Amino acid sequence: MRPRSGDDQLELFGDPSDPAWSYSRLKSLRRCALEYRARWVDGEQALFQPGHIDVQAGRVLHYIIREYYRSPTTSQPHRLLIEKYEKLAPQTAAWKEDPQGEARTLAALRLFADSRAARFRPISLEVPCKARIGGTLFAGQADLVYEASERPGVYGILEFKLNDVEVRSEEAAEAFLQCIIYYFGLPQEFRKCTEVVGIYVFDVGRLLEYKIDQVVSEQAIRIVETALQRAAGPDFPPTLNPFCSSCGYQTLCPVYSRDRDRR
């Protein structure tokens, strides 16, 4: 049964026996059904590449930004960010040896320090969210709940992305889908105060924000429901997409092999 519009379109759950989907699982299903089947149905986790440079970059930057928001406010955000990176660096020797690793991180930190996001007032970090959409439970953690405007008590959700591949859409429901799912599942003390969803893109220093409205919320629900219909199979066709070059399932994909041979 499809959720109704308004606050009754979702439920919050605390039952650990109820299997939940992550946003990563939904993203995998939407971008390539073959990848979804290999990783989430067949359990080919060993082929997933957590050591890929984009994954490493995202982890390093997420860690530094979390520590930044946990620190007292400063008039020199770049200095604070570099201090956080230097504390982390001894634990990331392999990362620093990569020719792109350290330079990419330092460039991203400079961009973030100069951005409006660096001046956000954090309300809570890594906020757990649970929502049921289309009969499926989604669970995850919103990177940051922040004060969204000069009006006290008005909040926003902020997610951090390494690059803008996921948000290259003129449709707000597409670009902010992860944030909207998390908005649906916010704990009540945050949900009633949250009006804005935001995404910060590390590689380009870009901050995107959108004020939540009923139309975009309904569109996001339809996107999720349409994707969930594919999860039942029986066919899981491969799809070329911007993530193919870093996919861990290339050897299983006839479409990627043919495309590579043509180049």
Q: What is the pLDDT of residues 238-253, one digit of tens each?
A: 988 887 877 878 888 8
pLDDT at 17: 59
Show the tokens assigned to 208.
């995107």
DSSP 134: T
Q: Enter the pTM of the model.
A: 0.86
pLDDT at 90: 67
Task: Give SS3 for 51.
Answer: coil
Which of these, 196, 192, 221, lies nearest to 210 by C-alpha position?
A: 196
Rounded to whole angstroms, the Cα distance separating 199 from 161 reads: 7
Query: What does the buried/exposed string (b/e) look like for 232-252 if buried means 16 or more CB atoms within 10 Å of the residue's CB?
Result: eeeebebeeeebbeebbbeeb
CB atoms within 10 A of CB 72: 5
Low-confidence ranges of the chain (pLDDT < 70): 1-18, 46-55, 90-99, 257-263
Residue with tokens 């040896």: 97
Rounded to whole angstroms, the Cα distance separating 56 from 51 reads: 6
Which of these, 205, 209, 207, 109, lies nearest to 155 by C-alpha position?
A: 209
User: What residue ranges in the chain does DSSP mark as E strands?
Assistant: 20-21, 122-133, 136-147, 155-161, 194-201, 206-211
pLDDT at 246: 74
pLDDT at 135: 92
Which residues make Cβ contacts (< 8 Å) with residue 173, sequence separation at least 6? 180, 216, 219, 220, 223
| 258: phi then psi, degrees, rounded to nearest 5 | -65, -40
Rounded to whole angstroms, the Cα distance separating 183 from 178 reads: 9
Which of these, 59, 66, 64, lies nearest to 85 by C-alpha position?
A: 64
pLDDT at 18: 63
